[in-house]
Chains A and B, each alone.
Chain A
């Protein structure tokens, strides 16, 4: 049985390796790096100013042995997680309230609609003035980035709950609190998680920009410092690190989400 399963997996992998799709993907990525390297080597105008892949790799190899590099990761992560966590703590209950109570929606929603179109980054100057420390102001804009996305996704998720489920529940004799806990909450959970994943992405956009403006720690600052100091490979290392960090955090959210929504996992 097990051998059969392994064999099947191996065949699948072999098929993927031999497939045209994979070959084309590899050609495209390899081609990109080769052209990049060539442009840097031969100092092609405009494109040639970007450091070559080999330089970037060398710089990355240096950086991962430096405490400062990891400290930058740490500072950004702390900001992200704090801002994100506060956004969930306030956003999830508010979203649920707005979703379930029409009165609350009519009172609070106009306010949200007024604030939401302002991009979180536009809040940076105000929050630097408003909050006593740079750290707090950055956490605040990070919070804003995730907050509205989460609230709106929950409200939409609740509005989209199929009437059938509510009717079925009341037909089965469920009271208001049963319907809330066992029907509305789980039914809206998938959109809550989508909101969290998207919110996490926005959070990274915001924190990187805020770090370039308002502080001297974090991955955003690391990238900016590379620019200021003229260490161009450093800029690219910073960019790659930010991309990786964002990817990891979104993946983490998705993973945690799957634990809470086991019914969505495909067979």
Chain B
């Protein structure tokens, strides 16, 4: 069994190939090592989510290919298929509102037929316990806080022991304090099992604090502009934010993103 190395090779995605084509991805290539915490930053609408959806198997590529541990996930002519080895945590949260937190968390292993109901329940309760969510196991998602929901969603994803965890701006709508807690928690989960993480955000502090590598994307069509190695020690904690090393990375990242954001802005002006 592989460890979750993702190779994106010349990935191209064109929406509406016939009419006014929108090129979302244009020959985007990246190699993500197994167990790497990879964070993508870039201007809004640059194609980050398109790339995530292609890795997740939600839509097909127009050109190029994506490999997971050497096996082709998606390429033109091969219809994309989602799989439990790559779990997505969505921007707006996608816990099923009609299931309790516990039922949500056991959904994956039961749907795959990987665990018997008793076993799934036991594992799920353990998982919720370690995430500090045992108190809400029998609540519906609508009745718990957004921070808890997001944690429960990550718990639901981790129950499948995915090789890859795909997160699309999962903490976007959170206030600063809740966000801090969510980071701490996500890193704990990551340090425990080291899945490959593919994380999209606009928040540069979040990006550097979490990542092993930050990938700065260009404006649409998206390609990788710059890769920053974040060799800050793990486990990470908030004292790092004050270190000169962090500040330097932050600066470098900021400049790269700013350049692209400006390009996107002037391009937008021209389109007007």
A residues with CB within 8 A of B: 162, 164-165, 167-175, 178, 182-183, 186-187, 189, 261-263, 267
Contacts and interface: CB of A to CB of B under 8 A. Distances in A.
B88 A186 contact: no
Q: Which one of B56, B57, B97, B141 has the greatest number of beta carbons of chain A within 10 Å?
A: B97
Contacts of B57: 171
Given A164-B94, A165-B94, A263-B97, A171 B86 contact: yes
Interface string B103-118: 0000110011000000
Interface string B52-63: 000011100000
B94 A167 contact: yes
A171 B82 contact: yes
B24 interface: no
A168 B140 contact: no
A178 B107 CA distance: 10
A248 B160 CA distance: 47
A173 B140 contact: no
A175 B153 CA distance: 20
Interface in B77-103: 82-84, 86-88, 90, 92, 94, 96-99
Contacts of A187: 96, 98
B98 A189 contact: yes
B84 A172 contact: yes
A42 to B, nearest CB: 56
Nearest to A260: B98
B48 interface: no
Contacts of B143: 267
Contact of B92 (A164, A170, A174): A164
Nearest to A170: B82
Interface of B: 56-58, 82-84, 86-88, 90, 92, 94, 96-99, 107-108, 111-112, 140-143, 156, 160
Given A178-B111, A263-B97, A263-B142, A172 B90 contact: no
Listed from nearest, the 5 A-B pairs whose CB atoms lie closest are: A173-B84, A186-B98, A168-B94, A173-B112, A174-B111
A87 B160 CA distance: 42
Contacts of B142: 263
B111 A172 contact: yes
Given A164-B90, A167-B88, A263-B142, A172 B107 contact: yes
B112 A186 contact: no
A169 B140 contact: no
A171 B88 contact: yes
Given A167-B88, A171-B84, A261 B98 contact: yes
A263 B112 CA distance: 25
Contacts of A174: 107, 111
Contacts of A263: 97-99, 140-142
Given A167-B94, A172-B156, A174-B107, 10 more contacts: A164-B94, A165-B94, A167-B82, A167-B90, A168-B96, A171-B87, A174-B111, A186-B96, A186-B98, A186-B99
Contacts of B84: 171-173
Contacts of A165: 94, 96
A261 B108 CA distance: 22
Nearest to B108: A172
A173 B83 contact: yes
